[in-house]
Structure 1
């Protein structure tokens, strides 16, 4: 499924790793009632931890591929070739192997995580897939294969609570959610990220609706005003809650945006996006500028 997602935008060589089932297939001497076809394929993966492979060495690997075959060459690392380098690699692959079609995939470990997250969102009842994503995610961050906190945007689906989140500028979730470090935060609703801000503070607390009692947990430092904001919001929400953390968002530096998802379907869980994939580095300076710029781009 990851291979299919990576190949979605490739118009030159559509790739179907699963068997293709057909019925009533016309041939020269009649019609075949049923046909099962598995396309021949070869995928070569060159992995580096913290640097890029030499291009000349990478190009030599093309010799293992064949004609009449789906060929994919992956470069997987915490460093990515830039657009000019990718264009040069593709050009030279065609020059060296003119009769062989080779798809080059220029991947970060974060790209694989993002694809795994997308697949799980579409198959959220698959617990084995969930565990695979969590294990690979933890490995990547514990091994320092991904470190993009300064540019990392976390956005969360809000659904029925969106108006409450937006009004009080508070979001809540289980304490163990969101293991990655991030700087920017967004509220997602109706296939678009609707706001951008930073996190003012995180409060871990329990709330009893019957007694209107708010019990603060943990050792985080918070102001009385932040606690009062949370108390007012939970009183209005009218639900007893425990085991949750509350992201308190800035009241004055909370900016609306419209960062649209253009691929099929919504999201079932939170997502991380590296803003450098959508904006120039000098555009990622503050939440207000990011919110304005994200109106001009889309994501899948």
Structure 2
């Protein structure tokens, strides 16, 4: 058994904080661009200033009295992380952490936990930060451990060649799961961007991706397109297979699928008219599959897949009625 990069023997807050910082440090060691991407993703485009975790090299820089031939600038930044396990920090105590920041720094205050502040609490925190530190610009981030994992997964999506990054993702995900730092899977929705394949995904009710993607457990699955989750269902089965279009040959490696499920996959892949290797296919139910409109209201689209806890958006007595969930999601949105 390979040794994990993250300690799993304690759930105390200082151990959790240490492992979060270790993950970020390792990410930076692998590639500073990965670390920069993580910070920007966690802010979802709401950064008050551009984030630069490394020196900026420029030449022929124009200034008031001439042109500088060479210029190297390191912009100061500071991130303060307050970690809780399954609770929220007292707001008054959180506000006091603003004393750690200064005027010329890029300041971010993170609250990291398994539960988030409600929107009205987040508004209050931002208001009190401005009132208490009128000369400072402080970016408050209301984060879940899920947010760290899903954005780390998104970075790996774009750099699947990097095996060290893959190991970091696997170890950190497994640590958070085994330490009960992430939401219960029975309420969890995974949704994926589809782009040009959206019509095919909806028509055949299936989705494909590399086998190693989506390490977290989840119950519900959605197809995302044009800044909205357009469908929701459960997963009927997951098939690992290669498809040789030239010979119309589907080679299935996984087990436990019906002949009908395999044939559905074969028919769908034949329509795509291309070879596929090293992929898994989420086959969705033909009937218990519902269109919805769960909209993203913040700026920009999503870089990769997302996990959301449905309890953060809708309140139901029973989360087993997928059609009801689809209807309720039409009434709410997310950022």
- Coarse TM-score class (shorter-chain normalised): 0.7 to 0.9
Matches within 5 A, 1:61-210: 61-156=97-192, 166-167=202-203, 169-170=205-206, 178-187=214-223, 193-201=229-237
Give 1:181 deviation, angstroms.
2.2
Q: Secondary structure at the match of 1:180?
A: coil
Distance in 2, Cα, partners of 1:138 & 1:89? 32
Q: Residue in 1 aligned with 2:54?
A: 18
Query: Are positions 1:287 and 2:292 aligned together?
Result: no
Per the alignment, do residues 296 and 36 of structure 1 end up closer, same or farther by CA in structure 2, a change over 3 Å counting?
farther
Once superposed, what is the RMSD of the aligned Cα atoms?
A: 4.0
Q: Secondary structure at the match of 1:281?
A: coil
Give 1:164 deviation, angstroms.
6.5
Contact conserved, 1:4 with 1:17, CA < 8 A, in 2? no
Matches within 5 A, 1:45-64: 45-64=81-100
Distance in 1, Cα, partners of 2:326 & 2:193? 17
Per the alignment, do residues 163 and 283 of structure 1 end up closer, same or farther by CA in structure 2, a change over 3 Å counting?
farther
Query: Are positions 1:229 and 2:260 aligned together?
Result: yes
Give 1:178 deviation, angstroms.
3.8
Query: Are positions 1:254 and 2:285 aligned together?
Result: no
Q: Residue in 1 aligned with 2:42?
A: 6
Q: Secondary structure at the match of 2:181?
A: coil
Contact conserved, 1:155 with 1:187, CA < 8 A, in 2? yes
Give 1:117 deviation, angstroms.
2.1
Unaligned runs of 5+ in 2: 1-35
1:136-160 Cα deviation digits (max 9, x unpaired): 1111111110023233112356689
Rg (Cα) greater in structure: 1
1:60-80 Cα deviation digits (max 9, x unpaired): 222222222122211111122
1:28-77 Cα deviation digits (max 9, x unpaired): 33111222211112211111222222222222222222222122211111
1:251-278 Cα deviation digits (max 9, x unpaired): 22212345577735764xx54333455x
Contact conserved, 2:47 with 2:139, CA < 8 A, in 1? no
Query: Are positions 1:38 and 2:74 aligned together?
Result: yes
Per the alignment, do residues 241 and 10 of structure 1 end up closer, same or farther by CA in structure 2, a change over 3 Å counting?
closer
Distance in 1, Cα, partners of 2:314 & 2:140? 24
TM-score by length of 1: 0.74
Distance in 2, Cα, partners of 1:34 & 1:164? 52
Q: Secondary structure at the match of 1:132?
A: helix
Per the alignment, do residues 139 and 130 of structure 1 end up closer, same or farther by CA in structure 2, a change over 3 Å counting?
same
TM-score by length of 2: 0.68
Give 1:81 deviation, angstroms.
1.4
Distance in 2, Cα, partners of 1:8 & 1:240? 35
Q: Secondary structure at the match of 2:234?
A: coil
Contact conserved, 1:7 with 1:15, CA < 8 A, in 2? no
Per the alignment, do residues 151 and 35 of structure 1 end up closer, same or farther by CA in structure 2, a change over 3 Å counting?
same
Contact conserved, 2:243 with 2:276, CA < 8 A, in 1? yes
Contact conserved, 2:86 with 2:113, CA < 8 A, in 1? yes
Per the alignment, do residues 122 and 295 of structure 1 end up closer, same or farther by CA in structure 2, a change over 3 Å counting?
farther
Question: Which deviates more, 136-145 or 88-97?
Answer: 88-97
Distance in 2, Cα, partners of 1:231 & 1:4? 40
Distance in 2, Cα, partners of 1:24 & 1:207? 54
- How many residue pairs get matched? 291
Unaligned runs of 5+ in 1: none
